[in-house]
């Protein structure tokens, strides 16, 4: 069930529709701590975390400070975390959740998601990997070459064999036990498609409350959202601004598999579409409403009945992204977008 800007989940807990994403791979823990403090003081009451982000201790430190300062109480804040792929084995689920709770300094989570439907075999006995190469399904979004200072790689490997999956149905049963124990109020999914959800619903004792998926101007997810809503599963849109942080320099955006300049031995990678924040219709609406393009995109998704979790470590952007409740987009404007 949803009102205009929040969702009542299966447990009866209320999840704010606008959350703050804490994924910040290029930033140190102190940056994350400061960003969370800024976000909560700006009005955010929903934090989206994950074990694989490797910064839950910083989020926990920020929450502790804010609670000690009486800025918030624990009940004021809705905290989500996610189970990483190497921890799908039922005997690892509880300990992984407990580790997130320890790092966050909390006694319970409001929502715990299965981060991806595939589980990886963990022969090394680790709860996470220092590097994993197949992160997103769309290859143009991730490039290791920038981090390595190279223009191309000679070999690119899938680090873990997908064939060694743990059945996510068994993972789900362990999550249900965590609900019974009071470690988490609601459980849900992330990056699951309708067939995977259907398979889970056939056996689930506790139904998933949420499915978090990439969704933005260029990835509408209409069919999946319609399906989830029909099953009373709320949908959270990650990368609601179209992943502007993954945008390479403009001169190196276009997906091509051939070297563009043999003399310099470089590849050109161009975006297959105009970045969402730079779409003419978005910029036009922003001008008309005296808002930023980011605010237009967030408001558009909120009016679709979705939760959104924009991320930033910049104070101005964090604050601006929360200022989306004082205007509306008309049906005509929404259709245009």
Contacts of 9 (CB under 8 A, 6+ apart): 15, 111, 185, 186, 209, 210, 234
237 and 214 Cβ atoms separated by less than 8 Å = yes
Among residues 240, 222, 120, which one has the least CA distance to residue 171? 120
Query: 10 Å Cβ neighbour count for 316?
Result: 10
Ranges of H-type helices in 217-261: 222-230
CA distance 153 to 148: 9
Work out whether the CA dihedral 248, 252, 258, 261 comes out positive or negative.
negative
Work out whether the CA dihedral 183, 188, 191, 195 comes out positive or negative.
positive
Measure CA 254 to chain center. 25
For residue 209, give both structure tokens: 């409350």
Query: 10 Å Cβ neighbour count for 220?
Result: 12
Select which of 23, 44, 53, 227 is catalytic.
Answer: 53
Based on the residue annotation, tell me whether 53 is a catalytic residue of this protein: yes
From the annotation, which residues make up the binding site? 115
Angle, alpha carbons 42-48-52 (nearest 5°): 135
Contacts of 212 (CB under 8 A, 6+ apart): 48, 80, 113, 188, 189, 190, 191, 235, 236, 237, 238, 309
Burial class (CB in 10 A: 0-12, 13-18, 19+), 148: exposed
From the annotation, which residues make up the binding site for substrate? 115
Angle, alpha carbons 174-178-184 (nearest 5°): 135
Among residues 208, 176, 170, 166, which one has the least CA distance to residue 190? 208
Q: Of how many residues is the chain composed?
A: 337
Task: Indicate which residues carry an active-site annotation.
Answer: 53
């Amino acid at each position: 069930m949803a009102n205009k800007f929040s969702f009542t989940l299966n447990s009866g807990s209320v999840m704010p529709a606008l959350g703050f994403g804490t994924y910040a791979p290029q930033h140190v823990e102190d940056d994350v701590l400061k960003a969370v403090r800024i976000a909560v003081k700006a009005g955010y009451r929903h934090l989206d975390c994950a074990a694989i982000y490797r910064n839950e201790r910083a989020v926990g430190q920020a929450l502790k400070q804010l609670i000690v300062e009486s800025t918030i109480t624990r009940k004021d804040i809705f905290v989500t975390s996610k189970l990483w792929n190497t921890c799908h084995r039922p005997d690892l689920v509880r300990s992984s959740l407990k580790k997130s709770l320890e790092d966050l300094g909390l006694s319970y989570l409001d929502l715990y998601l299965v981060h991806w439907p595939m589980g990886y075999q963990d022969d090394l006995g680790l709860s996470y990997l220092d590097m994993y190469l197949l992160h997103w399904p769309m290859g143009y979004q991730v490039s290791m070459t920038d981090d390595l200072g190279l223009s191309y790689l000679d070999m690119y490997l899938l680090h873990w064999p997908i064939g060694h999956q743990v059945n996510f149905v068994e993972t789900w049963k362990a999550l249900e036990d965590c609900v019974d124990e009071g470690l988490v109020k609601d459980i849900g999914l992330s990056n699951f498609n309708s067939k995977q959800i259907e398979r889970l619903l056939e056996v689930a004792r506790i139904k998933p409350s949420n499915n978090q998926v990439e969704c933005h101007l260029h990835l509408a997810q209409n069919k999946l959202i319609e399906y989830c809503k029909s099953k009373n599963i709320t949908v959270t849109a990650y990368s609601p601004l179209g992943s502007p942080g993954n945008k390479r320099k403009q001169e190196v955006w276009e997906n091509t598999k051939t070297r563009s300049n043999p003399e310099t031995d470089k590849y050109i990678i161009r975006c297959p579409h105009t970045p969402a924040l730079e779409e003419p219709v978005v910029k036009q609406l922003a001008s008309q409403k005296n808002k930023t393009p980011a605010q237009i995109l967030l408001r558009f998704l909120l009016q679709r009945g979705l939760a959104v979790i924009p991320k930033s470590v910049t104070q101005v952007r964090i604050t601006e992204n929360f200022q989306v409740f004082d205007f509306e987009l008309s049906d005509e404007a929404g259709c245009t977008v």
